[in-house]
Structure 1
Amino acid sequence: MLNFLKYCLASLLLITALPATALETGDMAPDFQLPGSDGQMHKLSDYRGKQAVVLAWFPKAYTSGCTIECKSLADNGPLIRQYDVSYFMASVDPLADNKGFTKETGADFPLLSDEDKTVAEAYGVLSPRGFAKRHTFYIGKDGKILKIDTDINPPTSAEDMVENLGKLGIARKASQQ
């Protein structure tokens, strides 16, 4: 009987340790409602049917790579805003950290805070160390994932985002066509 209980316990531990099914292109993006550095709550479903969304996860505010990536997006915001898209950076950092990081980097777009890490888990970006992995999700107007970019180059992240938006067929704003 003891061996049977050990087997059951080991099986249960194995099942709970298995990763959730990874998100793929074509899947519905998990909805979220997260506070932004701009003082607003941002909910993915509010954009459905209206506008594409880019969600760029980053590991940790005030670190070298994340600072470079955030500044790239801030410095090149006009290029990104040529497209009919709302874009965000997101981390599991406290909101206060992301507010300060926004000011330090000059970000003119919201940084979202997922302090309880549930959204990071839903997107499959939570690393074993408790940080978000640097992945960018391109989400269509219909709420489906168009692309998951896992090969982010922080210094060129804005230019790469613009290139991806074009390749994915995201509409340009009327004044930009």
Structure 2
Amino acid sequence: MNKLITLFITISLLLFSNLATAELSVGDQAPNFKLQASDGKTYQLSDFKGKQSIVLAWFPRAFTSGCTIECKSLADNGHLLKGFNAQYFMASTDELSKNIEFAKETKADFPLLSDPTGDVAEAYGVSFMGYAKRHTFYIDKSGKIVMIDRNVRPKTSAEDMAQHMGRLGFEKI
């Protein structure tokens, strides 16, 4: 009986660890999302297919130091990003009301998406203890992930994002 329990626990741990480490990769189709945003709209990835590239910048929590710095970088330097045929978002597991306040405080002129259930964060492999890891996904017009930045620097987020978009060949407008 003890061997059976040990075997069950071992198999369960192996299965769980494989699920926990499953991450999206470059070349994968980006999981669709349908999330409410700080600008009062609801955005769905599939609505952009064939029209615009997407940059989805996950952040851990509104009103924290690094997240505030990152959001202000994008707000202050949006002109670097607006020259591309791409929609960029920041996204967190915060409630919508919190992201609305955060967008106002940081003067964000782009949508902050709210995923309070964490389902989309889980689909993107960024969910960690109820928060989102600071990862940015670059998604082409076909919905394919063309880059994942897992080493986002909040202070230079906008500059880095613009460089990546240019290097990835995102269409300019």
TM-score tier, shorter chain, comes to over 0.9
**Matching of residues 91-170 of structure 1 within 5 Å:** 91-127=92-128, 129-170=129-170
Q: CA RMSD in A?
A: 1.3
After superposition, give the CA deviation of every residue in 1:125-166 in whole Å (9 maximum; x if it has no partner): 112x32111110000000000100011111110011111010
State the TM-score, normalizing by the size of structure 2: 0.94
**Matching of residues 3-18 of structure 1 within 5 Å:** 3-18=3-18
Whole-angstrom distance in 2 between the partners of 1:21 and 1:10: 18
**Matching of residues 12-51 of structure 1 within 5 Å:** 12-18=12-18, 19=20, 21-51=22-52
Q: Which amino acid aligns with 1:166?
A: G
Q: Which amino acid aligns with 2:153?
A: N
Displacement of 1:24 after TM fit?
Answer: 0.7
After superposition, give the CA deviation of every residue in 1:3-41 in whole Å (9 maximum; x if it has no partner): 324422442343134325211111100111111011111
Gapped regions of structure 2 (runs ≥ 5): none
State the TM-score, normalizing by the size of structure 1: 0.92
Partner of 2:60: 59
After superposition, give the CA deviation of every residue in 1:55-87 in whole Å (9 maximum; x if it has no partner): 000011001110010011011112201000000
Whole-angstrom distance in 2 between the partners of 1:8 and 1:93: 36
Gapped regions of structure 1 (runs ≥ 5): none
Displacement of 1:98 after TM fit?
Answer: 0.2
Partner of 1:88: 89
Secondary structure of the structure 2 residue equivalent to 1:121: helix
Moved over 4 A (4+): none
Aligned residues: 172
Identical pairs, percent:
55
